[in-house]
Structure 1
Amino acid sequence: MIDGYEVAQPLDKSKKNSKREVLPGEGSSIAKAWLAALKTSVRRDPISVLPYGSPATSWLKDAAPSELKFYVSESVSRGAQFFGRSVTSVITYPGQPKANIPRVVQDNYKLIRKQITALSNVLPLETIINYRLGIAGLTNPNLNRSELIALDEIYNSDFLRFENKLRLIVGKYRVTSEREKIPVTLVNDFDVELKVKLVVTPLNGKVIATPIPDLTLAPNSKLQVEIPIRVMASGSTTLLTQIKSETGVLLKEPVQLPLTLSVISPITTWFTTGSAIILLLAGVVQSVRRIKRKRV
């Protein structure tokens, strides 16, 4: 009984350049030797594979059944490819410990899974598959509480660096004209082209933001985008900026862009002018009335 992870990881190491090994027998060489020994040891035996990462299947059946199916299919596919013959899948094995996943790890698994699902709308599977498979290990019932929490912290830190390859850089701006274009920068550090939307929502009625056309981000690039706004009143406001897929799926946490508005808008001008005219007319009316009274 084999976990697809046990084949995938040594296989990845075996493909690395053995010239970089510090000592003979380390790195790719030892990985190749281990894989060869594994093939020899099971050459006449039927092969059963566990879901990738040996996750807690009982918990996943309720929390993420579609991911459990994915771990099973990937383990079967990789096992068959490596051994060169068919393999069968098993969900669990006799004596497998009961899952005792800390609540913080459960919550983080669900959060990262949600983010991976969102990014899958713009990233090809080969770019994100290692992270999709990697979170399976966060539920491994063979690890104790402290081991799971430590693994969760390492994985979360690594995933945040991966996720941050797509990001929005904003500043703080003072707007002094009625119509303005606010510059922001979209960064794509992935090796693939991304098609996204930048959705901008003012958090009060002091500005109006013009919708921005869909954007294409070249691999490993930065793109400056100008947000057209019209100021309706002076004061302060915040633009809520969201990076979404072409179909409207939120890809990142929204970023707030604060604005200080030092502009007398046309509406304010019209209101002020109108008030002045009304006061002037009221004064004229009163003067006319006084003159009429004196004549009487």
Structure 2
Amino acid sequence: MKRVLVFLLALFFAIPIQSANAAEVVSITEPTHRLIDGKFFDDVLATKLLPSGDLGDLVFTTSRSNRSWLIDPATISEITAMSNGYGVIDGSTPTGQQIAKDWLTQFYRITKYEKVSAITYGNPAKSWVSKLMPADVEYLNAISKIKLEEYLGKASPGIVTTSTEKQKLSNSIQNTFIFADKQFKLMSTLVDPKEFDLLKLRMAQLLNPQISAGGLTPLYADFQSEFNKVRNQLRVSKSKFTVTSSKQEL
């Protein structure tokens, strides 16, 4: 009986200790709030960065548990852009510059000595990236880690993670992204592949499953416009790229 009592007491005290030592995983990712040229199309991000907001609560709330962080470098990029001053396309007065500065200061402070791993840039659905951008999976993971390390100023250990959720995409969007991916491969054999980094990263952002169907429509149109602009400037002719003013739409 005595042995049973000792065992139960040991089990009782072991459970909370084990829970206390378990690391809390905090994910910071947010669908894009900017057009491809960097302009913000709303000021919602500023509200989310407040201490009471979805993203603010994650960094301003005190936690005694061990934490590890999963960070989307695309989100940090947008917050950094906001902290440097920005405009909103509807002409309204932006409210988030100081809010973004305060958030970044707190974020860097609390993650300085904690494990931080990168989420694939833009937090795209893994299944869509594999289908629509198969040749860029390793590239996206590599650049995500590099960009996060640049923001943090330290190495980023751990495995890069990708969203396992999946949203519905119209056939038109799927076909556009498949076509764009093929064009990137073709043009990359003749010009510096880095010329297409912005568009590739943008594709990844638009594959974030948290973007609503209604929200994706204008973002897709924005991507399509920029892609056509780049494509119209470069045309394959006798294995050389030449400038062209002809209008070539998707």
Provide TM-score, normalisation by structure 1.
0.49
Q: For 1:85-164, what aligned pairs fall within 5 Å after superposition?
A: 85-87=154-156, 88-92=158-162, 97-164=165-232
Kindly indicate whether the alpha-carbon contact (under 8 Å) linking 1:53 and 1:137 is maintained by their aligned counterparts in 2: yes
How big is each residue's C-alpha offset from its partner over 1:77-120, in whole Å with a ceiling of 9 and x where there is no partner?
Answer: 11112212222333335xx5333222211111111122222222
Kindly state the Cα deviation for residue 48 of structure 1 after the two structures are TM-superposed: 1.8
Root mean square deviation of aligned Cα:
3.5
Higher normalized strand content (fraction of residues): 1
SS at match of 1:47: strand
Identity %: 22
Alpha-carbon separation, structure 1, partners of 2:243 and 2:134: 23
Counterpart of 1:206 in structure 2 is none
Higher normalized helix content (fraction of residues): 2
Kindly indicate whether the alpha-carbon contact (under 8 Å) linking 2:133 and 2:181 is maintained by their aligned counterparts in 1: no
Distance 1:157 1:36, change over 3 A: same
Alpha-carbon separation, structure 1, partners of 2:171 and 2:233: 28
Kindly indicate whether the alpha-carbon contact (under 8 Å) linking 2:120 and 2:160 is maintained by their aligned counterparts in 1: yes
Which one-letter code corresponds to 1:4 in the other structure? P
Kindly state the Cα deviation for residue 129 of structure 1 after the two structures are TM-superposed: 1.2
Counterpart of 1:64 in structure 2 is 133
Distance 1:41 1:23, change over 3 A: farther
Higher RCO structure, 1 or 2 (CA under 8 Å, sep 6+): 2
Q: Which runs of 5+ in 1 are unaligned?
A: 168-196, 200-243, 256-296
Alpha-carbon separation, structure 2, partners of 1:122 and 1:75: 25
Q: Which runs of 5+ in 2 are unaligned?
A: 1-69, 87-91
SS at match of 2:180: helix
How big is each residue's C-alpha offset from its partner over 1:10-53, in whole Å with a ceiling of 9 and x where there is no partner?
Answer: 44566679xxxx979765x6654443332123223211211111
Distance 1:80 1:109, change over 3 A: same
Kindly indicate whether the alpha-carbon contact (under 8 Å) linking 1:54 and 1:137 is maintained by their aligned counterparts in 2: yes
Distance 1:8 1:23, change over 3 A: same
Alpha-carbon separation, structure 1, partners of 2:99 and 2:230: 29
Counterpart of 2:62 in structure 1 is none
Kindly indicate whether the alpha-carbon contact (under 8 Å) linking 1:100 and 1:144 is maintained by their aligned counterparts in 2: no
Q: For 1:34-49, what aligned pairs fall within 5 Å after superposition?
A: 34-49=103-118
Kindly indicate whether the alpha-carbon contact (under 8 Å) linking 1:54 and 1:136 is maintained by their aligned counterparts in 2: yes
Kindly indicate whether the alpha-carbon contact (under 8 Å) linking 1:72 and 1:89 is maintained by their aligned counterparts in 2: no
Alpha-carbon separation, structure 2, partners of 1:103 and 1:116: 20
How big is each residue's C-alpha offset from its partner over 1:130-187, in whole Å with a ceiling of 9 and x where there is no partner?
Answer: 11211112221112223223321111112212332336xxxxxxxxxxxxxxxxxxxx
Alpha-carbon separation, structure 2, partners of 1:114 and 1:78: 25
SS at match of 1:74: helix
Q: For 1:162-241, what aligned pairs fall within 5 Å after superposition?
A: 162-166=230-234, 198-199=237-238
Distance 1:59 1:128, change over 3 A: closer
SS at match of 1:89: coil
Kindly indicate whether the alpha-carbon contact (under 8 Å) linking 2:167 and 2:209 is maintained by their aligned counterparts in 1: yes
Rg larger for: 1
Counterpart of 1:172 in structure 2 is none
Alpha-carbon separation, structure 1, partners of 2:192 and 2:99: 32
Q: Which runs of 4+ in 1 moved over 6 A?
A: 22-25
SS at match of 1:48: strand
Distance 1:112 1:68, change over 3 A: same
Alpha-carbon separation, structure 2, partners of 1:107 and 1:24: 36
SS at match of 1:7: helix
Distance 1:31 1:115, change over 3 A: farther
Kindly indicate whether the alpha-carbon contact (under 8 Å) linking 1:54 and 1:140 is maintained by their aligned counterparts in 2: yes
Alpha-carbon separation, structure 1, partners of 2:103 and 2:189: 37
Provide TM-score, normalisation by structure 2.
0.56
SS at match of 2:115: coil
Kindly indicate whether the alpha-carbon contact (under 8 Å) linking 2:122 and 2:205 is maintained by their aligned counterparts in 1: yes
